[in-house]
Structures are given as C-alpha cells and as structure tokens.
Structure 1
C-alpha cells in the first residue's frame, strides 16, 4: 500500500468514526497525517479525485453517496477498477495490469488512482453491491 492508499484508508476511518463528516475534509486531514511535510503531495488531485469519486458513487462503506467532486476521468478510472476487481480480485496484486485493463491502448500514466482504489479494496471497505 502506497502513501495515497494509506491516506484513503485513513480518510475512510475518519468518516466512519464520525471524526469528520465530509469526505473532502476527511481526505484533507488524512493526507496531512500521511504527508506532514509535503504540501504538494497533499494537493495532488488524482488520488483525491479517485477517493472522492468512490465516495460520491456510494462505493466506500460507511459513506453516503453524494456530490463530492466534479471529476469525470478519475470517477471512471476508480469505478472501472472496482468493476474489474469484482471480476478478477487478483488484479489487486497487479496495479499496473489493472491500469492497463482500464486504459487499453492509451499511453496515459496512472497517477495514484489505483493505489487509492486497491488500498480501499484490500482494507475491505469497498461496497461490492453498488457497482
């Protein structure tokens, strides 16, 4: 699990412990804990977008669906990753392969969206029924 995955799992913990009720606030607090000395890492939009999009879609257990972000690309990446993980759970051990399945034939570089999605998946906090 990478640092953005740790931040995603921590944000979900904060939300379910009701320490903070909003996914964006939970993410902000979690990345501050994980990246205390790196403002640029705390502001990175792709992993934040993946987390907020999974929350928006009601896929993060303990978090009500809602409109937490306007991101379209990160939503698609994270949602497709969850769909693929449901079909082939072993892809959780192969983030590069998971990304290639989501982006067939495209040369776009993954930007920690899979770390967020896979970490939440491995933590058992992704809903398996709402995809």
Structure 2
C-alpha cells in the first residue's frame, strides 16, 4: 500500500454536505455524477494527497459516532496555519473546539463537525526547521 486514495462519506443531505466540503472547507470538485440505478449522487473532492467521496442514498441508516463508537474515529486535515483556519471556519458559522496540543508531537489541533456530525480535525503542520 502506498497511500490513502479516498475516504467515502454518505450524507443525509447531499447538497448541504457538498456545499460544506466544497465551499466552506474549500475542497475542489474533481467530478460529480448522478447514478440513476442507485438513486445516488457521487461527488469526488480533491483533498490533497487523497480524495473525499460524498454519496447520497435514499434513506441511509444513522451510524453512532460518539462517544468513541467503533469504527472511523475522525478525519483529519493538515493545515499550515491553525488559527487562520479556525477563524475562517468561525466566519462560516462552523464552531471548533478549543485548540489542544498533541502530547507526543507538540503540534496544535482542534475538532469540528461536518453537517452530519462527522468529527473532523484540523492538525497544524510542524514549523519548518
């Protein structure tokens, strides 16, 4: 295995999630298709070294995500300036938790949620030496 290719997310409100990931987080759309046989939209977003796939389905069941439910814990995005990203999200009415320090790396990070409550993280890259 060389890298993560994509992370797939099923959305309760496709248009709202697409706007969140595209407009608020700033991930460019690679392609978007309607899959009539599945009654499902699929949107591939460019997340740097990987893609995020957003899906819609007619009635997806809810998945427990907190506290510490089994499965994917969160999705983390690497950022250069954590304070600037937190301010940008706040301007779009996206609340972030207080900034914390990773006890092992000394790097700063925070959590926020997507429109379906999926926990997302911003992790600040290490300063250049």
Provide the TM-score with structure 2 as the length reference.
0.24
Bigger RCO (CA 8 Å, 6+ sep): 1
Provide the TM-score with structure 1 as the length reference.
0.24
Q: Which has the higher helix share?
A: 1
Q: Which has the higher strand share?
A: 2
